[in-house]
Amino acid sequence: MNEEKKNKKNIKKFNINEYKIIKLIGYGGFSKVHLCYHYQKRIYYALKIINKIEVTRKKKHKYVLQEKKILNLLNNNLILKLYQTGSDTRNVYLLSEYCKNGELWDLLNGSYYNFKKNKKIYLKPKGLPINLILFYSAEILYCLKYLQSKNIIHRDLKPENILIDDEYHIKLADFGTSKLLDELNEKQQYKSKNSKNLCKKMNLFDYYEEENCNSDKNEEDLESDIMTPEEELKAKNARKLSFVGTPEYMSPEILHNSHISLKSDLWSFGILLYQLITGVLPFIDKSSYLIFKKSLKPFKNLDFTRFPKELNENFKKNAKNLILKCLEVNPYKRIELDEIINHQFFEIFFENYPKTIFFQNPKQFQVPQEIKKFFQQISEKKEEKSDEE
């Protein structure tokens, strides 16, 4: 019996009447996530309710099916566990474990839920302390290594899809846009070793010159917020493309649905690492099209002056080097996952957390006390802010 069939056998059918819906804790394009309580078991769960009408209207059936399929393949203590699935005439239900410490996004934005106003409040974005950056980025790498062993690309790696459990470890979630690759397809991804040829194959950006592919950071900046007529046409064509993921974290190859490989998640990891350090995204602009345009020239458009001044120079130097290697436009030249794990950026971290043991199961280690204190401080600030309002 393969793993998918085994996991399916262990998942019981869902009965909505066994649960009390408590509050809304998240939402997406065609779904909402609620905190719910099982009357008999006296356990809290997260319940994703997917509206069938919205799914049909937006033609997203395959993403619902894909999430169920992928979750049935996975069995890992740093990936959100799916307990039950079900459906009725109106909705599809996915019942999973509840992570009471929220999302990694909440830590970056100091967000909290104001029950009086019935909405989420966001404070000023801020980077995380070094210990949190190293610990959580290492756990993310552990998840990516596990997914690679299953030949799965997540394709939507971002802080909103990384939850924090009761023990302050991460839980990777939201596999609706994930993709399962077979070995043959993976070998065929890297036929082109030339970044210029790769950019040319992405028809959306066929007007880019060679220097755009080579990311020459000394060239004169010719970009403007005002698009030319040619760019306007390209933008219209871009909006017609059917792509998955979140624009700010999306690799160039996923944008154009070509050369998609397991390395696509490593681009997103580079974006995420920059955000963990600075609190903001590296490529920001007025539209998805302009964000994509900036991402094709990372050497020129990455602003490392946003790194907090209090960080030591060695940490900043290693972080910058790693981020640039992750944000290589050509996936063939992009850094490998094992190279990231062995990069100098993580050298100090793995002195305290032996690498071979950590990548067997990070939950063997307790999170640093600094992380628990940080969560307590954040919680206290949220309570003070909520009382003021």
DSSP for 243-293?
--S-GGG--HHHHTT-S--TTHHHHHHHHHHHHHHHSS-SS--SSHHHHHH
**In the CATH scheme, what is the code of domain 130-369?**
1.10.510.10
Cβ neighbours of residue 323 closer than 8 Å, sequence gap 6 or more: 270, 273, 274, 282, 302
In the prediction, which pLDDT does 372 show? Answer: 86
| pTM (predicted TM-score) | 0.81
| Residue ranges in the chain modelled with pLDDT below 50 | 1, 111-116, 121, 183-184, 186-196, 198-199, 201-242
d(CA 28, CA 320): 32
**In the CATH scheme, what is the code of domain 3-98?**
3.30.200.20
Domain extent listing, the chain: 3-98, 130-369
Q: 225 is written with which tokens?
A: 């917020």
